[in-house]
Chains A and B, each alone.
Chain A
């Protein structure tokens, strides 16, 4: 029965077709190309930051990206990975992390908020 639900979800993912599914991991630095509809116009906005949380499974997969904007203001945005509004997600670099949720980054600023890069 669970597999029936999964097959419906997989179809939804497959329906996207245009985008290969990239593997995302906590700590990755990513560029999210987000389609924004403003009245009639549509444009793509890029949000770059670190993945601090992955949640959900199947089509419900979502990713929370954190970036530190001007004046040290932390900005976190959550995207549905398979949303048609998300054009693509580029992985810039991987980091060495030891936990699934990187909430500790919220309490750190400057150099202490860095993550060690992991190379394959």
Chain B
């Protein structure tokens, strides 16, 4: 399992060999350091803990500083675990950068989606709302009926209603890598990625394979 931590830079477009325009999201990823290795014996599962984003040692708690010093890595802002099947190829303090990916690879990108606040059902679930005409007033974005009457006598669980939308962990699967630049720690994927510009991301090798690949 190849993986790296990064940040969303923004979107643009680039031309492919045939002259077609492809929409891309540019990500700044790594360099990451392996800060800890989780093993079956110690932790009951296998994973590597990755750190990203160098900051001043005074910005982290003493506990964190000690943890990072143990792995002999710079002081890092973000720590995330990445599940791997086999930890034997990793060692603490190891440096990982975007060169582990190449153009054409498929990756999954995980981020926190933009928060939309308290949203209605039209925005949140794509309901059609009510009619605008034929004598309707204040029904255009209403959810409609939310259930029957005396029987069952309550609204069924899971009924889609207005509420907080966004600001959630979202994974986008199978994005194609279209550009890798290890010198500037940049990677570009085809399509959109969750979250705001500058938002933190986890980028790893695609879990699922697309049909015919």
Contact = CB atoms under 8 A, between A and B. Distances in A.
Contact of A84 (B15, B26, B184, B186): B15
B26 A8 contact: yes
Nearest to B9: A4
Contacts, number: 45
Contacts of A84: 15, 17, 19
B12 A1 contact: no
Interface string B15-43: 10111010000101000000000000000
Contacts of B17: 84
Contacts of A37: 18
Contact of B198 (A1, A8, A9, A58): A1
Contact of B14 (A1, A2, A7, A59): A59
A48 interface: no
Contact of A83 (B21, B186, B188): B21
Given A80-B21, A85-B19, A5 B14 contact: no
Interface residues of A, number: 18
Which label, helix, strand, loop or mixed, suits the secondary structure of the B interface? strand
A10 B75 CA distance: 33
A1 B196 CA distance: 12
Contact of A1 (B10, B13, B19, B188): B10
A83 B15 contact: yes
Contacts of A2: 10
B197 interface: yes
A12 interface: yes
A5 B19 contact: no
9 contacts: A1-B197, A2-B10, A4-B9, A4-B186, A5-B26, A8-B188, A12-B14, A37-B18, A84-B17
Interface of A: 1-2, 4-5, 7-9, 12, 35, 37, 58-60, 80, 82-85
Given A12-B14, A35-B19, A82-B15, 6 more contacts: A1-B9, A1-B198, A59-B12, A59-B14, A59-B15, A84-B19
